[in-house]
Amino acid sequence: MADRSGLLFFWGTPRSMSTAFLRMMLERGDHEVYHEPFSSIVVQGHVQVGERTATSHGELLKLLEERAQDRRVFIKETTEYDYLGCGGEDIPAVGSHTFIVRDPRSVLASHYAMNPDMACAEVGYRHQAELAWRAWAASKSKPLVIEAEALAATPLDVIKRYCDHVGIPFVASALTWEPGDQLVWSRTRPWHRDVANSTGFTEPRRTYAETVDNNAKLASCYRCHLPYYELLRTWARAADAGPEPSI
């Protein structure tokens, strides 16, 4: 069972349906919700936490810990950057960490459509797997890994399992919401059009001209990240904790 602190981290690669999960947490209304604060440090050099400003990953983590002392805090973050290697080495030891993975074929096509200049490392599966391993090592308990495809197909079952794992009540009414943009994701609004137009968890239906089957860059990235995806998918489907992993 995960650490039942008031600080909940949810990690996904870009284009993994993690913002839809954040939208569900907003609908609950019982958590203070942060959207990609660690990547905000990388991109713009600062992020607001309550009335204070953090300018480093270490400072951000301390401010989030302080906020979580008297309220529940939920942080959704993407793994395009190596936070462990740039001041965030203490992240895995704080709070409760859960993860979402999506088939990299879908992730890569969607990511490339948004950013054709993406670097392969920014696809994020290796960073995500390293965070998951470090969270397991720190807590001595396998972190929960959710498959995006299962979330879209059976949201009630997946969200019940998530709530049980992190120790919060299941709120059925939060599985649906009114469409609309949210202030919390304003910095990266163009990336979230689908969830802004959504009313619940659904499998994205978009098709893309460039895929791993016809684009050499995407095919190379796919081969690079596939082992990390397969590792995390194995964790998602494992019936028991199993041995402590290695990356």
pLDDT tens, residue order, the chain (247 aa) = 334 468 999 999 999 999 999 999 999 999 999 999 999 999 999 999 999 999 999 999 999 999 999 999 999 999 999 999 989 999 999 999 999 999 999 999 999 999 999 999 999 999 999 999 999 999 999 999 999 999 999 999 999 999 999 999 999 999 999 999 988 888 888 877 888 898 999 887 788 999 999 999 999 999 999 999 999 999 999 854 444 555 5
Return the beta strands (E) in the chain as ranges: 7-12, 32-35, 47-49, 52-54, 73-78, 96-101, 144-147
Look at residue 195 in the predicted model and tell me its pLDDT: 82
State how many domains the chain has. 1
**How deeply is 158 buried, as exposed, middle or buried, from its count of CB atoms within 10 A (0-12, 13-18, 19+)?**
buried
Domain containing residue 63: 7-237
Instruction: Please identify which residue in the block is written with the tokens 């990356």.
Output: 247
Could you tell me if residue 2 is inside a domain? Answer: no
Look at residue 4 in the predicted model and tell me its pLDDT: 46
Could you tell me if residue 205 is inside a domain? Answer: yes
Q: Residue 170 is part of a domain; what is its CATH number?
A: 3.40.50
Could you tell me if residue 100 is inside a domain? Answer: yes
Could you tell me if residue 212 is inside a domain? Answer: yes
pTM score over 0.95: no
Could you tell me if residue 141 is inside a domain? Answer: yes
